Structure 1
Amino acid sequence: MHTSDQILKLVNDTLDNLAYDRKPSSLYEPIRYVLSLGGKRIRPVLMLLAYNLFKDDPESIVMPACGLETYHNYTLLHDDLMDNADLRRGHETVHRRWDANTAILSGDSMLVLAYQRIAQCEKEKLAEVLALFTETALEIGEGQQYDMDFEHRNDVAEEEYIEMIRLKTSVLLACALKIGAILGGASVEDADNLYRFGEQIGLAFQLQDDYLDVYGDTKVFGKAIGGDITSNKKTYMLINAFNRANDEQRAELVRWIEATEFDRAEKVAAVTRLYNEIGIDRLAQQKIEYFFAESRKYLAKVSVAEERKAELAAYAERMMKRKY
C-alpha cells in the first residue's frame, strides 16, 4: 500500500517530466505552464488510491491519472477565460499571460492530450474507461452551462444548484475513483460504490468551498474572503438566502446584488450579516455534514478490508479539512 503523499509525489514527478516535443512550442508552452502551477492533484490521487485498494502497483496507471489532471486543468483554463479571471493559484491566467486566442487553442489541445494520456491503459479496459470519461466530460460541460444560466436568475432552487455542482465538480471526482477501480479489476458493485463515494464527497467539498468563501480564514483558505459575495456568484449560501429571506431581508439582498457601485468590505459584511440572520451558516454546515456522512456509507460498502481503505478514508477526511 502507498500513502497519499507517495502517490502525490508520483503524480507530480510524472507531470513535471512529461515531454512536449511537438511543434510549435508556442502552442504547448501554455499547457506546460498550466500544469506546472501545482494544485492539490485531488483527481489523480483519488484515482490511484482507488486502484491501490485492489492492486499494489499504482505507478503502472500514473499516465491515465495524469490525463485526468490534464483534463481538469483544461476546464480551469477555459473557465478562467470565461470568467475573465486574472489569477489562478497566485499566477497569471493563460489569457492574461498570452491572450484569449492562445487560451482557446491551447485549451483545445489540452483536451486532446488528456484523451491521449487516459487512453494509455490496459487494452481490455480501454473502451469502458473512455466511455466513462467521455460521459463525465459531457456532464461537466452541462454543469458549466447551468452555472452560466443561473447567473441571470434569482429563483434557482436548492435542488437545481445541487445538481449543477454534481455535474460541474462531483462527477469528475467520482469518475477518477471509478476509473481507478476499473483498472484495479474491481467488481462492478465496488466500482459503483466508489463512484457514489466520490459523488457525495464532491458535493460536500463544493458546499464547503461556498461556505469557506464567506466564513473561512483568509490565511487558511488561501484567497480573500467574500469573493463570491462581491461577484454575486450563485452559491448554496445566496440561493438559500433568497429562498428563505423575509420581504425586508430579500429587498436588502436584491439592493446589494443590483448595486453597481459599492464598498467591497461593506457589501461583504452586510450580506454575511443577512446570512447569519437567516441561518444560512448553520444550514450549510448541516448540508456539508450530510453529504460527508453519505460518502462514508458508500466507502463502507466497498468489499475490501478496512485497513486497505484507511488511506483513502483519511485522504477524504483531509479534503474536508476536519475530523470525523
Structure 2
Amino acid sequence: MIQPTSLLERLQIEFDRHSYGDAPVELYEPITYIMSLGGKRFRPLLTLLAASIFDTDIEKALKPAMAVEVFHNFTLMHDDIMDRAPLRRGMPTVHEKWNANTAILSGDVMLIRAYDLLLDVDKEKLRAVLSRFNQTAAEVCEGQQLDMNFETRWDVTEEEYIGMIRLKTSVLLGFALELGGVIAGADEETARLLYSAGENMGIGFQLKDDLLDVYGDPAKFGKQVGGDIIANKKTFLLIEALSKAEGGLKTELDRWISLDTFDNAEKVAAVTGIYDALDIRAFTERKINEYFSRGMASLQQLRTDSVQKEVLLQFVEQLVAREK
C-alpha cells in the first residue's frame, strides 16, 4: 500500500534535484526560490494517488504531477503581483524580493517548464493531456479575471462567486486527479469521475478558506483571522450577508464597508457579529458539506477494488477536516 507520506517524500526529492535552468541566474533564481517555499503539495499528491489506484508504479506520473505544482506556483507568482502581496508562505514574494518585471518573466518560464514536465506523458496520451491542460490553464486565468472584476462590484451573486472559484481554484484540482487516472490507464468514465471529484472538492476547499478566515483558530489558520473582512474582500460570507441583510443590519454592514479608516479589531468583531445574526456561518458550512459530499460521492463511484482507492479517500478526508 502506497501512503501519501512516501509519495510526498518522493516528490520532494524530485523537486530538490530538478533544474528549471541556469543562466541568466536572475531569471531562474526566483523560480527555485518560490518552489523552495514548499506549500502543502496536495495537488501533485492527488495526481500520484489517483495514478496509484490503477498502477502502483507511479514513476511515469511523477513529472506530470510536478507539472501541476509548477503551474500552480506560476499562477501564485503572477497573482501576488496583481494583488501587491508582500508575503507568500511567510516569506517575501518574488516581486518584493526582486521586482515585478523579474517576477513576470520568471513566471512565464515556469509555465514553459510545466509543459516540459508534461512531455513525460506517454506519446499516445500526450495530445489529450495537453488539450485538457490548456483548457484548465485558460480557465484558471478566466477565474482570476473574474475575481478582479468582482473587486469593483457590490452586486456579485452566489452563483457568480461559485462560478469564479470553480475556475480560479477547483478546475486545477479536477485536472490533477484526472491526470493521474489518465496516465495510469483509467477509462473515460473514470477520468470524468476523478475530475468531478476534484472540481467539487476544490469549491468546498475555497469556501472553507473563506469560513476559516473569519471563524478559524489563529494558531491553526496560519494567518490573520478577519483579513478578508478588513480588506472588504468579496468572499462567500460577505456576498451572502449583503444579499440577506435588511434594516439595521444592512445599514451597519454598509457603514463598515464604506469606512476608509477604522480599528481593525473593531471592524472584524462588528462584521462577524452581523454574520452571526444572519446565521451565515451555518449556511456556509452546509454549502461546504454539500460540495465535499459531491466530491466524495464521485470517488466512491470509482469501479475498482484497488486498496489505493481507500488511501485516496482517507487522504481527501484529511484535507476536508483541515483547519488551516
Given the two structures, how large is their TM-score scaled by the length of structure 1? 0.97
**Corresponding letter in the other structure for 2:243:** N
Note the 1:64-213 alignment, pairs <5 A. 64-213=64-213
Structure 2 residue 288 is matched with structure 1 residue 288:
yes
Equivalent position amino acid for 1:293 in 2: S
Q: Cα offset for 1:307?
A: 3.1
Deviation, 1:12, is: 1.3
Report the Cα offset of residue 255 of structure 1: 1.3
Q: What secondary structure sits across from 1:225 in the alignment? A: coil
Q: CA deviation at 1:322?
A: 5.9
Q: Secondary structure at the match of 2:109?
A: helix
Offset of residue 22 of structure 1: 3.2
Equivalenced residue count is 323
What is the aligned partner in structure 1 of residue 32 from structure 2? Answer: 32
Check whether the contact 1:95–1:102 (CA below 8 A) recurs between aligned residues: yes
Structure 2 matches for 1:34-53, cutoff 5 A? 34-53=34-53
Structure 2 partner of 1:266: 266
Q: Does the Cα contact within 8 Å between 2:60 and 2:183 map onto a contact in 1?
A: no
Q: CA 1:63–1:322 in 2, change beyond 3 Å: closer, same or farther?
A: closer
Structure 1: which 4+ aligned runs deviate by more than 3 Å?
none
Using the alignment, how far apart are the partners of 1:305 and 1:203 within structure 2? Answer: 28
- Whether contact under 8 Å (1:4, 1:45) holds in the other structure is yes
**For residue 235 of structure 1, what is the amino acid of its counterpart?**
T
**Please, which runs of 5 or more residues in structure 2 have no aligned partner?**
none
2:246 maps to which residue? 246
- Once residues 304 and 8 of structure 2 are traced to their aligned partners in structure 1, the CA distance between those partners, rounded to angstroms, is 22
For the aligned residue pairs, the C-alpha RMSD in angstroms reads: 1.2
Q: Could you tell me how far 1:200 is from its partner in structure 2?
A: 0.9
Structure 2 CA distance for partners of 1:185 and 1:270, relative to 1, 3 Å? same
The CA deviation at 1:308 is: 2.8
CA distance change for structure 1 residues 79 and 322 in 2, over 3 Å: closer, same or farther?
A: closer
By how many angstroms is 1:27 displaced?
Answer: 0.2
Cα distance in 2 for partners of 1:135, 1:312 equals 25
Identity %: 49
CA contact (8 A) 2:53 2:307 kept: no
Identify unmatched segments of 5+ residues in structure 1. none
SS in 2 for 1:232: coil
CA distance in 2, matches of 1:306, 1:166: 29
Q: CA separation of 1:306/1:254 partners in 2, compared to 1, >3 Å: closer, same or farther?
A: farther
